[in-house]
Structure 1
Amino acid sequence: MPVLPVIEDSTDELTEIFKDLHANPEIGFTEKRTAQVVAEKLRAYGVDEVHTDIAKTGVVGIIKGKGGGSRRIGLRADMDALPIQELTNLAYASKNDGVMHACGHDGHTTMLLGAAKHLAATRDFDGTAVLIFQPAEEGLGGARGMLAEGLFDKFPCDEVYGMHNSPNGEPGTVGICKGAAMAGASFFDITIQGKGSHAAMPQQSRDPLVVASMLVAQIQTIVARNVAPLDACVFSVTQIHAGSAYNVVPDTATLAGTIRYFKDEVCELAESRLRELCEGIGQAYGVEITVDLRNIFDVLMNNDELSDAYLEAAADIVGKENINDAEEPATGSEDFADMLKVVPGAYCRVGHAGTLPLHNPGFVLDPGILPVGASIMARIVERRMPVGGM
């Protein structure tokens, strides 16, 4: 089975929606225009119910299939962009300075709209499709926000499925990593309160820059000398801020970064060692060091059985030869993991012709992926809730 007919006939429309969303990106929890476009399209497609303003800008659509089946399948797409200056030179490049769809969420939103159009037009399933358009995936807690507002209490689902584009230069390939598929993540901010002085008289200071440099080096030993070699963990310092003049030793310095992990106990170990290092180094250098640690993403766990079901649906669209059921785990993170902690489901990656990495200012999502992703999403609903029962 190729791309589903309703979606194939809507390819030009989907491409225009995608280009419009790409040209008008919005940061998490500010996706008002995007949410308005989504809601208008869902209503135009004949979706039975359209609910807006969930976790500020989230949208949920409800489509009822043929018959009175009680099963409910959720499909989720993210809507937010990143604080990146676009450098693609596309004709439909971002109009919003310093904001870009560098992760392809514009494509994900468009694909779910395509699935919605097909499902509302054909209704060739017995049950209810729940379409979840989520805000603020990029580290701002959009999934947790929707859950806190009762997402699955108001719109219960038996299963839920998500999707992400993969700029691997292999259009039409679909892969899933079963089990722990994407890393959990904590973010940290470290503040070093030292004592400033004239740079020509550093003996009068408690130099926070020296302490910050020491910490950056010592943090690397947390993984190297504490985490078991077969347990994956990434500890990255990504920011250092201090000083404002050539001739002044500053009072303070700050560090920031992230921990990525696949086991909660590994995260707990890494966080504990970070606190201990900061306490010890602070005492050794006579400065005060404070640590702010925040869990941002859970480990994304794909259900084995539902992963197989998702791949079977994908194979209907792209062919079995383009399916991979043994993708490598990714150290990147994804807050769809929070939804999967509440409702079982699976998350797949769909390859496309682009090759520049995600979160790159030159990233380009190949629009050719749009009908493929939309068809896979629609097909999993039809397969899991067939007319006449499973």
Structure 2
Amino acid sequence: MAVINRIAGFADEMTAWRRHLHQHPELKFDCYETAAFVESKLKEFGVDEIHSGIAKTGIVALIRGQGGDRTIGLRADMDALPIEEETGADYASVTSGVMHACGHDGHTTMLLGAAKYLSETRNFEGTVALIFQPAEEDGGGGGVMVEEGIMDRFGIEEVYALHNAPGFAEGGFYTTPGPLMAAVDTFHINIKGIGGHGAMPHEARDPVIAAVGIVQAIQSISSRNHYALDDLVISVTQIHTGSAENIIPETAYINGTVRSFDKDVQAMVMRRMQEIVDGMGPAYGVEASLNYEVWYPPTINDPAKTAFAADIARQIAGDNNVIDDASREMGAEDFSYMLQARPGAYLFLGGGDGAALHQPKFDFNDAIAPIGASFFARLIETALPTNNE
């Protein structure tokens, strides 16, 4: 593993940064302590400019090399998840019900590691824009930063990001050109019936039975309304209703997620879901309404930038530890907004054995932080070479 020697030299510092961030997770756009920590480190490293308050708590920091007018963006997400931690680590979250269950603490640390190295060496010609983003998990902070003009404001020409991947070989990379991750939508269905006594259902209009019927019908969209080779996932993830065994409730709520790549498939799901809700309400004698929210678009890598990034990954991890034609995934990422605005690539960095993402026992593998930081640093030095190279 060709980790840059200088970065390997401060690996223990990176572990300390990461574990501090892990102890103090924050949600959505409210990454105030995280942003303050990031800003303090960037000042310590001596970056040239720090622009804070973008998308509420986002930061863009600039490091200028040896002249040159090109700018490349590197992005890390900072927010955590509303999950109660069960790792038992001595650096576990001190905030009840919130934890870094997706490794964004590690992503932030990797970019800080690259920032420290690049600030010291400046062995590149041009500018690196370090993008520290809130609200990836919920809120689309990447899209908000794009809407607030970071690409034009800082002259960013291309942009790259990494995500840790537990279960994949430690220190290995994988990605693919073109579509890598799906678009994500969410749906909310509210049902209003007439409550009553559980022993007298004929006097009520039961929203529970209606909810069950609607959920079953929604599941038929994937199996009966779309071409089987077009990627589509519809998952109902929440049903809330009722308060006691002898009470028929008045309301029920259904929530779930839709993952797709094709706009026609997405439109079909929206149409069929509306038809189901509009039809099933009267069928069960209840009122039913659908709120369908279109969220992140698919994450689509630029083929040329992906090939370049995969080559950098091979320099760090070796030829046998990089897959550049991986299968696309049904997960979603708001880095997609940045890739809509500028060409670039998104790669996964293997974290080895351990709990999966979004689980209460997940913990970022600190051993891969210097690998990710080396990837970012080498990418900049290769994409923006100096005249003496």
Normalising by the smaller structure, the TM-score range is: over 0.9
Segments of structure 1 that go 5 or more residues without pairing to the other structure are none
Deviation at 1:148, TM superposition (A): 2.2
1:377 & 1:271 partners in 2: Cα distance?
Answer: 39
Taking only the aligned residue pairs, the percentage that are identical comes to 46
Deviation at 1:205, TM superposition (A): 1.3
Deviation at 1:12, TM superposition (A): 1.0
| Structure 2 counterpart of 1:222, one-letter code | I
**Equivalent position of 1:123 in the other structure:** 122
Deviation at 1:364, TM superposition (A): 1.9
Deviation at 1:389, TM superposition (A): 9.5
The answer (yes or no) to whether the contact 1:354–1:364 under 8 Å persists in 2 is: no
Deviation at 1:286, TM superposition (A): 2.1
**Equivalent position of 2:328 in the other structure:** 329
**Equivalent position of 2:273 in the other structure:** 274
Deviates more, 1:142-151 or 1:97-106: 142-151
Deviation at 1:74, TM superposition (A): 0.3
**Equivalent position of 1:112 in the other structure:** 111
Q: For each residue in 1:205-236, what CA deviation from the matched residue of structure 2 results, as whole angstroms up to 9, or x when unmatched?
A: 11110000001111111011111111010000
2:245 & 2:5 partners in 1: Cα distance?
Answer: 66
| Structure 2 counterpart of 1:64, one-letter code | R
Deviation at 1:169, TM superposition (A): 4.9
Deviation at 1:178, TM superposition (A): 1.7
In the TM superposition, 1:1-390 aligns within 5 A as: 2-67=2-67, 69-388=68-387
Deviates more, 1:122-131 or 1:5-14: 5-14
Deviates more, 1:332-341 or 1:167-176: 167-176
| Structure 2 counterpart of 1:206, one-letter code | R
In structure 2, the residue corresponding to 1:316 is in which secondary structure? helix
1:259 & 1:129 partners in 2: Cα distance?
Answer: 36
Deviates more, 1:99-108 or 1:200-209: 200-209
Q: For each residue in 1:137-171, what CA deviation from the matched residue of structure 2 results, as whole angstroms up to 9, or x when unmatched?
A: 00222112212222212222111001000112511
In structure 1, the residue corresponding to 2:320 is in which secondary structure? helix
Task: State the superposition RMSD in angstroms.
Answer: 1.3
The answer (yes or no) to whether the contact 1:180–1:300 under 8 Å persists in 2 is: yes
Instruction: Report how many residues are paired.
Output: 389
1:324 & 1:150 partners in 2: Cα distance?
Answer: 33
2:204 & 2:105 partners in 1: Cα distance?
Answer: 50
Deviates more, 1:271-280 or 1:144-153: 144-153
The answer (yes or no) to whether the contact 1:169–1:355 under 8 Å persists in 2 is: no
Segments of structure 2 that go 5 or more residues without pairing to the other structure are none
| Structure 2 counterpart of 1:384, one-letter code | A
1:202 & 1:168 partners in 2: Cα distance?
Answer: 49
Q: Which runs of 4+ in 1 moved over 4 A?
A: none
1:385 & 1:177 partners in 2: Cα distance?
Answer: 23
Q: For each residue in 1:236-283, what CA deviation from the matched residue of structure 2 results, as whole angstroms up to 9, or x when unmatched?
A: 000001111222211111100000011122111111100011001112
